[in-house]
Amino acid sequence: MKSGILILALISFSAWAQVSNDCVPLNVPTVDIKDLQKLLDWHGANAEQIEKAPCKTVNPPSAKDLDDFIKSKTAGSANAQINGVNFQNESPALIEAFKNFTTAKDGFGIFPEPDLQKNFQVDYKINPECQKVRCAMEKIWGKGLSEKILYLNLKHHFNSSEFAFQNSDRFTEAEMNDVLMGIEDLPAHLIPLGKDNQRLTHFKRGYTLKNYDSNVVANAVVMLFDSWDTEPAREKQYTIFHESSHNVSSKLGNLDESPEWLAQSSWVKTGDNWTADPNACQITEYGATNPWEDFAESMSTYRYNAQAFKTKCPKKYEFIKTKVAKGIEYIEVKSCSPISEEKLKLAQNSILEKISDSLHEQTFSAQEVSKACADSFSYPPKDEEMKKCSVKLMTSGQTNSSNRIAEALSLAQIPDTQANRDQVLSGLGILIANDEALKLKMIEKAKGIPEAIESIVKTSISEAIPKEMANKPLDSEDYSWRIYQEACRAQVFQAISKDDFAHCHLKTIIKKDKDSERWNSGYFSAYKAPPLFKAEALTALEAKRDAALEDHLMSQETTKVAMKKVEAEIKETLSWHNRHESVLLYEMKDWKKKTPEEFCSLTYAKSSNMLSSMGVKEGTPIPSIQDWCVKKQSEKNRRHEFSDEEWKEYTESVLK
Amino acid sequence: MNRIGLIALFICLNVFANSSWQQEVKTFLPKPISEFKTRQTTLTEVEKNLGKAQHIQGTRYYWEKDGLKYALELTFESNVLTSLHYTFTGKKPDLILLQKHINLKNFTPFPTEGKSIGRFLKLEEKGSELIIDPVSKTIYSVRLP
């Protein structure tokens, strides 16, 4: 590698200096020539290999590319004032981007730095001439650079504004080209990569971070240092790719510390130190330092020196291929080239035609119906839901055919990789949505779905509930059944287990109790008067469970398991104190068998507590209450519902 | 406010001012690790909770967590815990939780071995160590004496 001296220093990663006294002036780098050979192996590809890597991005996006992309992201309209600048009728996405570019934060973009905040209207006199973000940015950065900064942000979610992060300097347009070309060497499915308006800036020129030596080229924050400036273009891009790879790991859930990745080299961490199995296959010397660099170097070598990587470390190569690259390989152009519009259309149309031709013979399983319709149905299904479900069902049924996709890819001469399959299928949804004729055909075909759903529901519940429930038609008006439908429908679609079903079923019973008019306005509401029927939650639950078991003939064993879940849930989530009426129903469910005297005796016992709460001393004789209650009950020949007023009136009369 | 009130207020303010990132970060540790106390907890007590160490190097004992060998390092002297090092696994605590307690100016790059200057930042203070991931803006690992 001609410039291996600098490449070796790429060394990546973070470190921070908040203020200029933490930055240190650079010394001229010196590298011992005898270390040169060692340096050559520090990274996974040399300049020539990078240059020749298949599907390498060789040009930055053109002015038209930039314009087209930015316009595609600028829907909507809003007014705003951002850091002194007014915008009128501007896209909210662009306003947000401008805010990110011009709001000063610390070096990581974590905490605001109000002392560094600029007023851009004062500094750049943007209004009134400019009322739009692109115009304002042009005044600040110039036409070419401003468009690239905006594109990098909108497409890749990186922020390269020198105003946004402490100790940053402005990129030149040529440097920005290398940044874009490095980033766009990533597989398309990993874009956008930046996280939360992430930094990707040039560090303050002439300085580096304390603890860094002058060879450090970049870090994963991402900061680029002066040494990066002196690299040839392709190596600059390698650096960007390497640092991006750390972010790829982050995007994929810290893949570089996943047990599967650590197992590749038997990485072990003791305290702060990492050690690998000395016999593990390491693709570069730098990668051997820790699993994070191992991952970033593997990614970079996979991208720029694939054949060597595959030959030397086939297991690691396979890991990157399947876990990161979705099957895209960079060994030859045909295995990595982006799909042209023409090829994409050819493959998609081929699939559409086959879908259309074979709809008449399509059948669908209960599982497919459940998967396609579970989220889009209310009961009974509405027309719109029916259409949505039909199209989804037909499409998923058809496109899940691996052979069909393979045939379409082959016809269009597209390499059969997961990434390419994803791309073809994701575009297919839009095509189907716009193809009214095909949609109608699918809906027509899917007319049997309701029957299929009914069959699924019945199969699912037949093992879990009594036959008389299972045999009810889906449109039954039966109250219990409807409540059950509402509560358990989604679970039924997913073919729930017997225990889960019982859990759901008991929940419906509780819901039914709570909602029942019978409970809330009928005979037992006599007991609502005294606010003292607040049975302890668990006692009430016991009663409730017994009643539920009696009433619904649930399988004892299944119910016990389910009730345990319900009890735990109810303890956490339900306020039983507010539902005492419902609870009392169970305590007094045999009220009809009681005489007015017995009934009032119970009422009296409870109401005396209420009187106590009203200030009546314990032991105060209130002899007439029983008589009064019995009289009232007998007069009306029913269980009189005592109102709050009546209780109060009576109590006061007794006290007098 | 009487004198006693002033003294109480002073004590409260003093306690508040002394609230440190070490105390804060300890609350993010999973149980039972958060309950271990240096200079109090014994190896026997730890083993009761975590089982035998999976790896031992001198006075350092290591346990795996969530597939990470070894997320937990405990140092014992005379059978008593003297230092705890934990690498957060899975979802890591957000750095913003320590905003009031840390100053990014005091952090240095990590790791530092060889030519690598690391992708993390380290804060060392009175025998404690905090490592943060500036990319995900999360707390990566902690060492508490």
Q: Cα(A641)–Cα(A633) distance, rounded to whole angstroms?
A: 9
Domain assignment of residue A479, yes or no: no
**In this complex, do B131 and A272 lie within 8 Å of one another by their Cβ atoms?**
yes
Domain final residue, candidates A538, A572, A587: A587
Alpha-carbon gap: B109 to the closest alpha carbon of chain A (Å) = 4
Dihedral angle, C-alpha A279, A285, A289, A293, nearest 10 °: -110
A124 in any annotated domain? no
Pick the more confident residue, A612 or B57: B57
- CA dist A34 and A31 (Å) reads 9
Closest CA to A445 of A349, A383, A350, A358: A358
Give SS3 for A201.
Answer: strand
Q: In terms of Cα–Cα distance, which of A190, A171, A163, A178 is closest to A109?
A: A163
In a domain, A472, yes or no: no
Cβ contacts below 8 Å, chain A against chain B, sum to: 127
Q: Is B29 on the interface with A (CB under 8 A)?
A: no
A292 assigned to some structural domain: yes
Kindly give the residue spans of alpha helices, DSSP state H, lying in A522-555.
537-552
Best of A14, A20, A284 to mutate (most B CBs within 10 Å, chain B): A14
pLDDT recorded at residue A476: 60
CB contact under 8 A, B134 and A17: no
**Are A187 and A273 found together in one domain?**
no
Which residues of B are less than 8 Å from A209 in CB distance?
109
For B84, phi then psi, to 5°, come to -130, 130
A179 and A64 part of one domain: yes
- How far does B98 lie from chain A, in Å, by closest CA? 11
**Is A71 in the same domain as A181?**
yes
Subunit contact B118:A216, Cβ cutoff 8 A = no
Domain boundaries, chain B: 20-144
In a domain, A471, yes or no: no
Q: How many other CB atoms sit within 10 Å of the CB of residue A440?
A: 12
A14:B73 CB<8 A: no
ipTM: 0.84
> Are A11 and B115 an interchain contact pair (Cβ–Cβ within 8 Å)?
yes
Residues of A in contact with B114 (CB under 8 A): 289
The CA distance from A282 to A260, in Å, is 16
* Whether residue A537 is found in the same domain as residue A627: no
Q: Is residue A65 part of a domain?
A: yes
Instruction: Give the pLDDT score at A475.
Output: 58
Give me the residue from A9, A16, A268 closest to B104, CB to CB.
A16
* Three-state SS sequence of A281-324: CCCCCHHHHCHHHHHHHHHHHHHHCHHHHHHHCHHHHHHHHHHH
Q: Is the per-residue pLDDT at B126 higher than 70?
A: yes
Co-location of A239 and A303 in the same domain: yes
A518 found inside a domain: yes
Tell me if B143 and A271 make a contact (CB, 8 A cut-off).
yes
Mean pLDDT by 10 residues, chain A (656 residues): 33 34 45 39 82 93 95 90 95 95 88 90 96 97 96 95 95 97 94 86 89 80 90 93 91 91 95 92 89 94 94 95 93 85 89 80 69 58 68 69 83 86 80 79 71 60 51 58 52 48 59 47 31 37 50 46 54 38 39 59 48 47 57 57 58 56
Contact B115 A42 (CB under 8 A): yes
> Is A16 in Cβ contact with B121 (below 8 Å)?
yes
Query: Are A583 and A533 a contacting pair, CB within 8 Å?
Result: yes
The pLDDT of residue A420 is 87
CB contact under 8 A, B107 and A110: no
Give the dihedral sign, CA A85/A90/A92/A95.
negative
**Residue at a domain's end among A337, A363, A383:** A337
**Gap from A17 CA to chain B (nearest CA, Å):** 6
Judging contacts by C-beta atoms under 8 Å, the chain A residues touching residue B61 are none
Instruction: Say whether residue A516 is in contact with chain B using an 8 A CB cutoff.
Output: no
Whether residues A399 and A527 fall in one domain: no
Residues A392 and A249 grouped into a single domain = no
Q: Which residues does chain B have within 8 Å of residue A246's beta carbon, measured at their own beta carbons?
A: 119, 135
In the predicted structure, residue B82 carries a pLDDT above the cut 90 = yes
Substitution target from B64, B66, B91, B115 for chain A, most A beta carbons within 10 A = B115
Q: Residue B70 and residue A268: Cβ atoms within 8 Å? A: yes
Q: How confident is the model at residue B102 (pLDDT cuts 50, 70, 90)?
A: confident
Strand positions, DSSP E, chain B: 55-57, 60-65, 68-77, 80-87, 108-110, 120-125, 128-133, 138-144
- Torsional sign, CA A210, A215, A221, A226: positive
Distance of CA A179 to the CA centre of its chain: 29
* Structure tokens that stand for A282 in this block: 């390491």
The domain in which residue A287 lies consists of 1-17+30-47+231-337
User: Which one of A198, A259, A293 has the shortest CB-CB distance to B67?
Assistant: A259
A402/A368 same-domain check = yes
Query: Is B134 in Cβ contact with A221 (below 8 Å)?
Result: yes
Question: Is A16 within 8 Å of B99 when comparing Cβ atoms?
Answer: no
Residue A266 has what pLDDT? Answer: 95
Each residue's pLDDT tens digit, A540-584: 544 555 555 444 434 444 445 555 655 555 444 333 333 333 333
Give the minimum alpha-carbon distance from B3 to chain A in angstroms, rounded to a whole number. 39
Q: Are residues A356 and A446 in the same domain?
A: yes
Tokens of A128: 């009134």
pLDDT at A393: 75
Q: Which residues of A touch B117 (CB under 8 A)?
A: 11-13, 15, 211-212, 216, 219
Q: Give SS3 for A132.
A: coil
Question: Would you say residue B112 has pLDDT above 70?
Answer: no
In angstroms, what separates the C-alpha of B2 from chain A's closest C-alpha? Answer: 40
| Residue A87 counted as domain residue | no
A239 to chain B: which residues are within 8 Å by CB? none
Tokens for A489, please give them: 């429908």
> A212 and A107 in one domain?
yes
**Whether B6 contacts chain A with CB within 8 A:** no
Which of A230, A256, A291 is a domain's end point?
Answer: A230
**One domain, residues A216 and A264:** no
A262 touches A319 (CB < 8 A): no
pLDDT in tens, A477-507: 555 555 555 555 444 444 445 555 556 666 6
Q: Quote the minimal CA–CA distance from B20 to chain A in Å.
A: 19
Query: Any chain B CB within 8 A of the CB of A41?
Result: no
Domains in chain A, number: 5
Residues 84 through 123 of chain B touching chain A, CB cutoff 8 Å: 85, 87, 95-96, 99, 103-105, 107-121
Cβ partners under 8 Å of residue A367, min gap 6: A495
Same domain, A242 and A301: yes
pLDDT reported for residue A414: 87
